[in-house]
Chains A and B, each alone.
Chain A
Amino acid sequence: MPNVVHLRDAVCVLGRFPALAGATLDVDAGEIVLLQGPNGAGKSTLLRLCAGLLPLQSGEAEVLGCDLATDARSVRRRVALLGHGVGLYEELTVTDNVAFWAAAGKHGADEVDAAITRVGLAGRLADVEVARLSAGQRRRAALAVLLTRHAELWLLDEPHAGLDAQGRDLVDHLVSTAAEAGVTVVIASHDLDRSTALADRVATIDGGVVSAVVDGARPRPDAAELTSAG
């Protein structure tokens, strides 16, 4: 079975800065992998590379079977990225935003309300402009957009940041539910305790390279079988 994410010495340049300086990482289908490392280590760059948003300078990179060097675009519709920026229109309400992105991705309008309910923004907040939401509420709205994408690979950049305890639980719940449904998840996080408990494996990124990969604490009876097949 091919890896969902397959990086070999991937070099990725931002301007002239080699944000990824030869990263090597494999992620299997249905896995939850945590990326940890100091600020500026290259975590966000790795996620954006996997989303097909950054050009690959050298090395190999394959995501969902597509070679990023030649076919980055066909990856895009199949992944979901929760970035630092939430990617919402400030002047539009939560419902407007989720409906717009659902329409943009050719997904049904009927999923909009369900997604908003799942992230706990149903009711009054659904009709509030994003500009008037708190940081945590915006991230919830961004999660609702993410849910409507039906992606095969979730790339979450600091998903817990700015969220209250409930919100962080929500993220964990959404991630494990998605992984059980077969979605592969890569999380970049500083919230190590929480994310390690969630993850099958923990990859340490530093200086633009993956310097270590260790097991995470996610309870998975079939973990050994899955990974040995990779």
Chain B
Amino acid sequence: MTSIDTGLAEAPSAVEPTRDAPVGTSSTASRILGVVTLVLTAVGLTYSLVISPPDANQSNAARLLYIHVPSAIIAYVAFGVTAIASVMVLWRKTEVWDLIAGASAEIGIVFTSLCLITGMLWGRPIWGIYWTWDARLTTTALLLVLFVGYVALRRALAGTANRAKWCAIAGIIAAIDVPIVHQSTNWWVTLHQGQTVRLLGESEIGGTMLFSLLLMMVAGLCGYVWLLLIRFRVGYLAERVDESAFDEAIAQRRAEAAAQKRTAHRTAPTAPVAQKMATHTASTEVD
């Protein structure tokens, strides 16, 4: 029986939870981070929507930027994390990085959408239009579509053995595109006005406004990390649901043989026993 046992001992070891493997969708740390995020967001929103003064040029519409600017920055951070994690998947071949890449892309889509929506709502009163083909807007919109495609691919590949590797490659070849997209949209709109965020202007921002923006920035980053932790844990546990039964699956697989063999050979279900039965001794004698 020994050879069977060694055969089995190796297979599930890849499956067994390691030291710090998640057992639930949240930990103490993530719960604390969640509370911190919610408090920071509440305080940040109070500051940005109530306490801070209206902008000199844009009046209350400028308050949208307290959400818009942090979400834009976090969106780029999220996609950067996906790109780096994709490289790490190919380099280290660990599941952790794959899950981080996927989680970060999904959260990135949320923040990119938030950024685009607040941008459009802001653009309507300030520019008079919801959308303009400005370089940043266009790049961000393309970024959103690139990563929607990436997440769609993850879904299509769900449950396949190659998902991590293929999605990592897809993530990297999408990331390669970002600087090219950025450059092309920049050239493309040279005729249009400059960077939109300058409208906020360094001189115009200060005191409470700057504090509100920074507060929202920190709240947003905490929110990103919080969501990333939870999404990572959910992804990790979802993988485990299928894999937890691996040694069981091996046993079941072997039992398929046992069920049929019992009719012919009473003691045939395991390989070493079968080997003893083999009439051809020379090439089957082991160890």
Contacts and interface: CB of A to CB of B under 8 A. Distances in A.
A201 interface: yes
A222 to B, nearest CB: 13
B3 interface: yes
Interface string A35-46: 000100100000
Interface in A43-79: 57-59
B4 interface: yes
Contacts of A210: 271, 274
Nearest to B12: A58
Contacts of B242: 16
Given A9-B3, A209-B274, A212-B274, A18 B283 contact: no
A227 B284 CA distance: 10
Contacts of A214: 278-280
A201 B258 CA distance: 22
A76 B6 CA distance: 28
B207 interface: no
A201 B282 CA distance: 12
Interface in A186-223: 201, 206-215
A9 B4 contact: yes
B271 A16 contact: no
B270 interface: yes
Contact of A207 (B256, B275, B279, B282): B256
Interface residues of B: mostly helix, strand, loop or mixed?
helix
Nearest to B253: A21
Contact of B254 (A57, A208, A215): A208
Report the interface size class on chain A. 35 or more
Nearest to A60: B7
A23 interface: yes
B105 interface: no
B8 interface: yes
A209 B271 contact: yes
B254 A212 contact: no
Nearest to B257: A207
B249 interface: yes
A13 interface: yes
B270 A209 contact: yes
A228 interface: yes
B279 A206 contact: no
B202 interface: no
Contacts of A22: 3-4, 7-8, 250, 254, 271
B261 A206 contact: yes
A28 interface: yes
A189 B271 CA distance: 21
Contact of A18 (B250, B268, B271): B250
A201 B278 CA distance: 11
A230 interface: yes
Interface in B241-266: 242-243, 246, 249-250, 253-258, 260-261, 265
Given A18-B246, A26-B283, A208-B253, 20 more contacts: A8-B286, A9-B4, A9-B271, A15-B160, A16-B246, A17-B253, A21-B254, A22-B3, A22-B254, A38-B260, A58-B10, A201-B283, A206-B257, A206-B260, A206-B261, A207-B258, A211-B257, A212-B265, A214-B278, A229-B282
24 contacts: A9-B3, A11-B11, A11-B250, A16-B243, A18-B250, A21-B250, A24-B3, A24-B284, A27-B283, A41-B257, A57-B11, A59-B7, A206-B260, A207-B255, A211-B265, A211-B269, A211-B271, A212-B268, A212-B277, A214-B280, A215-B279, A227-B280, A229-B282, A230-B283
5 closest residue pairs by CB, A with B: A207-B257, A206-B257, A9-B7, A207-B256, A58-B10
Interface of A: 3, 8-9, 11, 13-19, 21-24, 26-28, 38, 41, 57-59, 201, 206-215, 227-230
